[in-house]
Copies of this chain bind each other. A is one copy, B any other.
Amino acid sequence: MAYRLARTVAFQGERGAFSYAAAIKLLGADIRDLPCPTFRDVFESLKSGKVNFAVLPIENTLHGSVHENYDHLLEYAFPICGETNVRIAHNLIVMPGVRFRDIRKALSHPVALNQCREFFKKNKRIEPVSFYDTAGSVKMLSERSEPDTAAIASETAAKIYQGEILRRNIEDDRQNFTRFFLLTKQTRSTHVGSGNWKTSLAFSTENAAGALFRAMACFALRDLNLTKIESRPLRGKPWEYLFYVDLIGRADDSPVQNALNNLREMTRFVRVLGSYRPTS
Protein backbone atom coordinates (compact mmCIF):
# COMPACT_ATOMS: atom_id res chain seq x y z
CA MET A 1 0.00 0.00 0.00
CA ALA A 2 1.37 3.36 -1.02
CA TYR A 3 -0.59 5.68 1.25
CA ARG A 4 1.06 7.62 4.03
CA LEU A 5 -1.98 9.38 5.45
CA ALA A 6 -3.43 8.55 8.83
CA ARG A 7 -6.12 5.98 8.18
CA THR A 8 -9.13 8.00 9.27
CA VAL A 9 -12.13 6.98 7.22
CA ALA A 10 -15.78 8.00 6.97
CA PHE A 11 -18.55 5.68 5.78
CA GLN A 12 -22.35 5.55 5.88
CA GLY A 13 -24.02 3.34 8.46
CA GLU A 14 -23.04 1.98 11.82
CA ARG A 15 -19.71 0.39 12.65
CA GLY A 16 -20.00 -3.16 11.30
CA ALA A 17 -21.93 -2.10 8.18
CA PHE A 18 -20.81 -3.51 4.83
CA SER A 19 -19.15 -0.14 4.09
CA TYR A 20 -17.09 -0.63 7.24
CA ALA A 21 -16.04 -4.11 6.06
CA ALA A 22 -15.01 -2.48 2.77
CA ALA A 23 -12.96 0.14 4.66
CA ILE A 24 -11.05 -2.62 6.48
CA LYS A 25 -10.47 -4.51 3.24
CA LEU A 26 -9.13 -1.34 1.64
CA LEU A 27 -7.11 0.17 4.49
CA GLY A 28 -6.45 -2.67 6.94
CA ALA A 29 -7.91 -3.31 10.38
CA ASP A 30 -6.02 -0.44 11.99
CA ILE A 31 -8.34 2.38 10.96
CA ARG A 32 -9.96 5.22 12.83
CA ASP A 33 -13.51 5.17 11.55
CA LEU A 34 -16.23 7.79 11.44
CA PRO A 35 -19.72 6.30 10.97
CA CYS A 36 -22.06 8.81 9.25
CA PRO A 37 -25.85 8.84 8.89
CA THR A 38 -25.93 9.74 5.17
CA PHE A 39 -23.77 9.56 2.05
CA ARG A 40 -23.64 13.35 1.95
CA ASP A 41 -22.31 13.39 5.52
CA VAL A 42 -19.51 11.07 4.38
CA PHE A 43 -18.50 13.51 1.64
CA GLU A 44 -18.78 16.47 4.01
CA SER A 45 -16.51 14.74 6.55
CA LEU A 46 -13.85 14.34 3.88
CA LYS A 47 -14.32 17.93 2.70
CA SER A 48 -13.99 19.39 6.20
CA GLY A 49 -10.80 17.41 6.87
CA LYS A 50 -12.32 15.31 9.66
CA VAL A 51 -11.05 12.23 7.81
CA ASN A 52 -8.47 11.48 5.12
CA PHE A 53 -10.53 8.80 3.39
CA ALA A 54 -14.12 8.00 2.56
CA VAL A 55 -15.65 4.67 1.52
CA LEU A 56 -18.82 4.70 -0.61
CA PRO A 57 -20.91 1.98 -2.25
CA ILE A 58 -21.18 2.66 -5.98
CA GLU A 59 -23.06 -0.35 -7.34
CA ASN A 60 -24.65 -3.62 -6.31
CA THR A 61 -25.20 -6.75 -8.40
CA LEU A 62 -28.93 -6.83 -7.55
CA HIS A 63 -29.77 -3.16 -7.10
CA GLY A 64 -27.66 -1.40 -9.71
CA SER A 65 -25.64 1.79 -9.55
CA VAL A 66 -25.95 4.19 -6.63
CA HIS A 67 -26.63 7.29 -8.73
CA GLU A 68 -26.78 9.39 -5.59
CA ASN A 69 -23.09 8.69 -4.99
CA TYR A 70 -22.20 9.37 -8.62
CA ASP A 71 -23.90 12.75 -8.14
CA HIS A 72 -21.82 13.40 -5.04
CA LEU A 73 -18.63 12.28 -6.85
CA LEU A 74 -19.30 14.89 -9.54
CA GLU A 75 -20.20 17.58 -7.01
CA TYR A 76 -17.32 17.09 -4.56
CA ALA A 77 -14.72 15.96 -7.11
CA PHE A 78 -12.62 13.89 -4.69
CA PRO A 79 -10.54 11.42 -6.70
CA ILE A 80 -11.14 7.68 -6.43
CA CYS A 81 -7.98 6.04 -5.05
CA GLY A 82 -9.16 2.48 -4.44
CA GLU A 83 -11.88 -0.04 -5.24
CA THR A 84 -13.10 -3.29 -3.74
CA ASN A 85 -16.05 -5.68 -3.78
CA VAL A 86 -17.75 -7.04 -0.68
CA ARG A 87 -20.07 -10.03 -0.72
CA ILE A 88 -23.31 -9.22 1.06
CA ALA A 89 -23.55 -12.20 3.40
CA HIS A 90 -26.24 -12.10 6.08
CA ASN A 91 -25.96 -13.87 9.42
CA LEU A 92 -28.41 -14.49 12.23
CA ILE A 93 -26.79 -12.90 15.26
CA VAL A 94 -27.78 -13.03 18.93
CA MET A 95 -26.27 -11.94 22.23
CA PRO A 96 -24.50 -14.81 24.05
CA GLY A 97 -26.94 -17.11 25.85
CA VAL A 98 -29.82 -16.73 23.43
CA ARG A 99 -30.66 -20.06 21.82
CA PHE A 100 -32.01 -20.53 18.30
CA ARG A 101 -35.25 -22.05 19.58
CA ASP A 102 -35.91 -18.96 21.73
CA ILE A 103 -35.88 -16.53 18.82
CA ARG A 104 -39.23 -15.00 17.84
CA LYS A 105 -38.06 -11.80 16.12
CA ALA A 106 -35.21 -10.89 13.77
CA LEU A 107 -34.32 -7.22 13.31
CA SER A 108 -32.63 -5.76 10.26
CA HIS A 109 -32.92 -3.28 7.40
CA PRO A 110 -35.92 -4.27 5.23
CA VAL A 111 -33.65 -4.77 2.20
CA ALA A 112 -31.63 -7.33 4.19
CA LEU A 113 -34.79 -8.98 5.57
CA ASN A 114 -36.08 -9.24 2.02
CA GLN A 115 -32.87 -10.97 0.96
CA CYS A 116 -33.45 -13.72 3.57
CA ARG A 117 -36.95 -14.77 2.56
CA GLU A 118 -36.14 -18.47 2.35
CA PHE A 119 -34.87 -18.39 5.91
CA PHE A 120 -38.12 -16.83 7.14
CA LYS A 121 -40.18 -19.30 5.10
CA LYS A 122 -38.41 -22.20 6.80
CA ASN A 123 -38.59 -20.60 10.25
CA LYS A 124 -42.12 -19.28 10.44
CA ARG A 125 -42.03 -18.62 14.17
CA ILE A 126 -39.39 -15.92 13.58
CA GLU A 127 -40.94 -12.63 12.59
CA PRO A 128 -38.90 -10.19 10.45
CA VAL A 129 -38.89 -6.71 12.04
CA SER A 130 -37.68 -3.61 10.19
CA PHE A 131 -34.78 -1.63 11.60
CA TYR A 132 -32.90 1.38 10.19
CA ASP A 133 -29.55 -0.40 9.67
CA THR A 134 -28.16 -3.96 9.57
CA ALA A 135 -25.19 -3.40 11.91
CA GLY A 136 -27.34 -1.01 13.95
CA SER A 137 -29.67 -3.88 14.79
CA VAL A 138 -26.78 -5.83 16.39
CA LYS A 139 -25.62 -2.69 18.20
CA MET A 140 -29.12 -2.23 19.61
CA LEU A 141 -29.22 -5.84 20.90
CA SER A 142 -25.81 -5.36 22.52
CA GLU A 143 -27.18 -2.33 24.37
CA ARG A 144 -30.37 -3.94 25.60
CA SER A 145 -30.26 -7.67 25.21
CA GLU A 146 -33.63 -9.20 24.43
CA PRO A 147 -33.93 -12.95 25.00
CA ASP A 148 -36.25 -13.63 22.05
CA THR A 149 -34.67 -11.31 19.46
CA ALA A 150 -31.91 -11.77 16.88
CA ALA A 151 -30.37 -9.38 14.36
CA ILE A 152 -29.40 -10.00 10.73
CA ALA A 153 -26.10 -8.44 9.74
CA SER A 154 -22.50 -9.01 8.67
CA GLU A 155 -19.92 -11.16 10.43
CA THR A 156 -18.02 -7.95 11.17
CA ALA A 157 -21.02 -6.57 13.05
CA ALA A 158 -21.20 -9.77 15.14
CA LYS A 159 -17.53 -9.38 16.09
CA ILE A 160 -17.74 -5.69 16.96
CA TYR A 161 -20.75 -5.99 19.22
CA GLN A 162 -19.74 -9.37 20.71
CA GLY A 163 -22.67 -11.13 19.15
CA GLU A 164 -22.84 -14.81 18.38
CA ILE A 165 -23.61 -16.08 14.89
CA LEU A 166 -26.25 -18.82 15.14
CA ARG A 167 -26.84 -19.24 11.40
CA ARG A 168 -24.39 -18.17 8.70
CA ASN A 169 -25.15 -17.04 5.14
CA ILE A 170 -28.90 -17.02 5.42
CA GLU A 171 -29.23 -14.81 2.32
CA ASP A 172 -31.19 -16.26 -0.60
CA ASP A 173 -28.64 -15.24 -3.22
CA ARG A 174 -24.93 -15.82 -2.71
CA GLN A 175 -24.14 -13.70 -5.76
CA ASN A 176 -24.90 -10.41 -4.06
CA PHE A 177 -21.88 -8.11 -4.18
CA THR A 178 -21.44 -4.42 -3.56
CA ARG A 179 -18.65 -2.46 -5.19
CA PHE A 180 -17.07 0.30 -3.11
CA PHE A 181 -14.84 3.24 -3.98
CA LEU A 182 -12.19 4.66 -1.67
CA LEU A 183 -11.92 8.45 -1.98
CA THR A 184 -9.29 10.87 -0.75
CA LYS A 185 -8.54 14.58 -1.04
CA GLN A 186 -4.94 13.87 -1.97
CA THR A 187 -4.49 13.25 -5.66
CA ARG A 188 -0.96 11.86 -5.87
CA SER A 189 0.68 8.77 -4.39
CA THR A 190 -2.35 7.89 -2.31
CA HIS A 191 -3.39 4.60 -3.77
CA VAL A 192 -4.24 1.25 -2.29
CA GLY A 193 -4.73 -2.08 -4.08
CA SER A 194 -2.58 -4.11 -6.43
CA GLY A 195 -4.78 -5.09 -9.39
CA ASN A 196 -4.56 -3.66 -12.90
CA TRP A 197 -5.17 0.08 -13.06
CA LYS A 198 -8.67 1.17 -13.89
CA THR A 199 -10.04 4.61 -14.68
CA SER A 200 -13.60 5.82 -14.09
CA LEU A 201 -15.05 8.73 -15.97
CA ALA A 202 -18.29 10.56 -16.62
CA PHE A 203 -19.22 12.41 -19.79
CA SER A 204 -22.32 13.80 -21.40
CA THR A 205 -23.52 13.96 -24.98
CA GLU A 206 -26.51 15.39 -26.70
CA ASN A 207 -28.55 12.48 -27.93
CA ALA A 208 -28.02 12.96 -31.64
CA ALA A 209 -28.32 9.48 -33.14
CA GLY A 210 -24.82 8.12 -33.05
CA ALA A 211 -23.37 10.56 -30.46
CA LEU A 212 -22.63 7.68 -28.11
CA PHE A 213 -21.23 5.66 -31.00
CA ARG A 214 -18.73 8.41 -31.78
CA ALA A 215 -17.81 8.61 -28.09
CA MET A 216 -17.25 4.85 -27.98
CA ALA A 217 -15.02 5.14 -31.03
CA CYS A 218 -12.52 7.13 -28.93
CA PHE A 219 -11.89 4.02 -26.86
CA ALA A 220 -12.33 1.37 -29.56
CA LEU A 221 -9.80 3.05 -31.88
CA ARG A 222 -7.18 2.61 -29.15
CA ASP A 223 -8.17 -0.96 -28.22
CA LEU A 224 -9.09 0.20 -24.72
CA ASN A 225 -11.20 -2.26 -22.79
CA LEU A 226 -14.33 -0.97 -21.08
CA THR A 227 -15.51 -2.71 -17.92
CA LYS A 228 -18.64 -0.61 -17.44
CA ILE A 229 -20.87 1.67 -19.43
CA GLU A 230 -24.09 3.16 -18.21
CA SER A 231 -26.32 5.94 -19.45
CA ARG A 232 -28.38 8.19 -17.24
CA PRO A 233 -30.90 10.76 -18.46
CA LEU A 234 -29.88 14.30 -17.47
CA ARG A 235 -32.39 15.92 -15.15
CA GLY A 236 -34.52 18.53 -16.84
CA LYS A 237 -32.74 18.03 -20.16
CA PRO A 238 -34.74 15.59 -22.24
CA TRP A 239 -32.54 13.73 -24.73
CA GLU A 240 -29.31 14.59 -23.00
CA TYR A 241 -27.44 11.89 -21.17
CA LEU A 242 -24.69 11.43 -18.67
CA PHE A 243 -22.53 8.36 -19.23
CA TYR A 244 -20.42 6.48 -16.71
CA VAL A 245 -17.52 4.53 -18.18
CA ASP A 246 -14.85 2.41 -16.50
CA LEU A 247 -11.86 1.27 -18.53
CA ILE A 248 -8.69 -0.71 -18.01
CA GLY A 249 -5.74 1.69 -17.87
CA ARG A 250 -4.55 4.78 -16.04
CA ALA A 251 -5.56 8.31 -16.97
CA ASP A 252 -1.82 9.14 -17.34
CA ASP A 253 -1.21 6.37 -19.90
CA SER A 254 -0.85 7.89 -23.33
CA PRO A 255 -3.54 5.80 -25.08
CA VAL A 256 -6.00 6.76 -22.34
CA GLN A 257 -4.93 10.42 -22.53
CA ASN A 258 -5.39 10.39 -26.29
CA ALA A 259 -8.81 8.79 -25.92
CA LEU A 260 -9.83 11.44 -23.37
CA ASN A 261 -8.66 14.28 -25.62
CA ASN A 262 -10.56 12.73 -28.47
CA LEU A 263 -13.65 12.34 -26.27
CA ARG A 264 -13.48 16.00 -25.23
CA GLU A 265 -13.72 17.03 -28.89
CA MET A 266 -17.06 15.31 -29.35
CA THR A 267 -18.85 15.61 -26.03
CA ARG A 268 -20.08 18.50 -23.89
CA PHE A 269 -18.44 17.50 -20.67
CA VAL A 270 -15.81 14.93 -19.58
CA ARG A 271 -14.68 14.32 -16.02
CA VAL A 272 -12.08 11.78 -14.88
CA LEU A 273 -13.33 10.45 -11.53
CA GLY A 274 -10.04 8.76 -10.74
CA SER A 275 -7.52 6.05 -11.60
CA TYR A 276 -7.16 3.26 -9.07
CA ARG A 277 -6.12 -0.36 -8.51
CA PRO A 278 -8.67 -2.93 -7.27
CA THR A 279 -8.21 -4.63 -3.89
CA SER A 280 -9.36 -8.26 -4.10
| Count of interface residues, chain A, beta-carbon cutoff 8 Å | 46
B235 and A209 contact, CB distance less than 8 A: no
Mark contacts of A89-121 with chain B using CB atoms, 8 A cut-off: 1 yes-contact digit, 0 otherwise: 000000000000000000001110110010000
- A25-71 residues with Cβ-Cβ distance < 8 A to B are 37-38, 59-68
How close is A195's CB to chain B, nearest CB, in angstroms? 12
A64 and B63 contact, CB distance less than 8 A: yes
How close is A31's CB to chain B, nearest CB, in angstroms? 25
Tell me if A128 is interfacial: C-beta within 8 Å of chain B.
yes
Tell me if A272 is interfacial: C-beta within 8 Å of chain B.
no
How close is A131's CB to chain B, nearest CB, in angstroms? 5
B235 and A231 contact, CB distance less than 8 A: no
| Residues in chain B near residue A66, CB distance under 8 A | 63-64
Q: Which of A's residues lie within 8 Å of B, judged by CB?
A: 37-38, 59-68, 109-111, 113-114, 117, 128, 130-133, 175, 207, 209-210, 212-213, 216-217, 219-220, 223-233, 235-236
